[in-house]
Structure 1
Amino acid sequence: MKPALALLALLSLPVGAAELAQLSVHRQGGEQVAVAVNRSAGPIEVELLADQWQGMASEPGLPYRRVLGPGEQATMARLWPVAEGGRHELRLLAVPGPPHAQARDVVYSLPVEESDFELGQGFHGGWSHGDEANRYAVDLIVAEGTPVLAARDGTVVATMAGHAEGGADRSLAAQANFVRVLHDDGSMALYAHLQESGVNVRTGDRVHLGQVLGYAGSTGFSSGPHLHFAIQVNGGMRLVSVPFRMIGPNGYLPLKR
C-alpha cells in the first residue's frame, strides 16, 4: 500500500514543446498521474523529466520516453510520495517526427518561383547554420510575400503564423513563423521565417508538390526577407538536419558552398 502523504506538484514545458504536446497531472487516490497529449498532426517523441524530485517514487522511473501518434493521449507515469512533504517539478520535452527515421535521397523542387530568388546561406552557413538542426539548410532570398511552395508531397504536422517580430537578434530565434511537413520516409521539411498570418495550410492537411504553403517574410532571427528550408529527422529527442539535393532553374543548387 502506497502511503497517502501530502505532496506539491509543479509542471512545465520548455519553449517550443508547448506547440507539440501538452502535459497535465491529475490526482487519482493517493497517486498523481502525468498525462501527455500530442497536439500535432504527426508522430512525436516525448520525454518526461523531473527537475525537482524529493520524497517521491514513480512507475516507470524518470526520465521516461515514448512515441505518441497524431493526437494521441497517454499516461507517462504514476507518481506517489514516499516521505512527508514529497514534491516534484515535472518537465515535458517533445520532438516532432518518428525517432531515427532514415531520409531517402530525394531531389527537392525549388520552393519558390524560379525567377524570384537569390541563393543566400547554404550548408554550414556561418551566420545561423551552425547548430545540428540547421547545419544542412538553405536560405533563399526572396521578396516579402513571395509564395512558398511545397518542395515534396507530405502532411502538414505543425504550423506557426502568429509572430510579427524579426531581426538580427538570436533571442528572436523562437519567433519565426513556419510550416513543417512530414514525408512518407519520416523526414520533415521546415519552411521558416514566414510572414505574420502568412501560413496558407492547416495541421493535418495533405499537401502536394508545388502547392502554396504560405508567404515568405522575415520573422524570428532574420536579417531580411527570405525562406529558410531544411530537411530534418528526429535523431532521438533532438532535431537533426540532413543533406539534400534541390533542383533550380540552372540545375542542382550549389548548397555546399
Structure 2
Amino acid sequence: MKKARIVYAGAIHEATEAPDGRLLLQDGRVVAEDAVQWLTPVEPRTVFALGLNYADHASELAFNAPEEPLVFLKGPNTFVGHRGESERPYGVTFMHYECELAVVIGCTARNVKKEDAYDVVAGYTIANDYAFRDLLENYYRPNLRVKNRDYCTPLGPWFTDAADVADPMNLKLRTYVNGEVTQEGTTANMIFDIPHLIEYLSSFMTLGEGDIILTGTPKGTVSVEPGDEVVTEIEGLGRLTSTITGKAVPAGEK
C-alpha cells in the first residue's frame, strides 16, 4: 500500500491513492492531488545519507569508490514534501539533484545480520538530496553546508510498504529536469546494498522506528537553476516533484 501525509482544509490527513489517481482521505473524502499540500510521507527521525554509493557517480566526481560506507547525518530541517520548493543559494555555481531510494526503518534494531536486514524495514520512499557541489571540500570533511540546507531534500510523495516492493535492489531510477531525462540508473548498481548498510549501521548504534537511510545516487549530475522543475522517479514508488527557487546568478559571476 502507498500512503501519504497531506494538509487539506487546514488539517493533516493520511491519504492513499484512489483508483482515479486522486487522494482518498481516511474520512472517505476524495480530493485532487493539486488541492492539497504534500508533507513528507514519514516524519524523519535520524537520517543517514550515503556518499559515493554508486561507482559510476564516484567516477563522475573524480573520487575513488569507498571501501566502507561513507555516511553522514541530515537534520530534520532539510526535508520538504512533494511539490515543495528548494532554494539555490545566490552565488552557488553547481547545485545538482540526487535521486535516491530512501529506506525507512520500522522497529528498534541493533546488531542486525544481513540475512535478517529486510525484517526491520517498514518501507520505502523517494528522496532528492540536492547538493551544492562547489561548497564541498572533500568527502572526508563534514557536509553540513552541502547537505543540510533548509528544505533542500524533497521526500515523498508516497511511503510504500516493504511487502509491496518485491526487490528493492533492482529498481530503475530516473531524473527529469523540465521534462528531459538527465539521470538514469538502477539500485542494482549500489556498492553497498541495503542489507549491508543495515548490518553496518546497527553494528555500532541502535536504529529506531522512523530512521531513514538515503542510499546514494547514480551518475548523471546536471546543475539546476531557479525556475527549473525537477522530477525524481523510482520504479514502483512514484514521481517526486520539486521546484528550484532563488535569484539567478549573473552570467558574469559564474
Give the TM-score normalised by structure 2: 0.25
Higher strand proportion: 1
Q: Which of the pair has more CA radius of gyration? A: 1
Higher helix proportion: 2
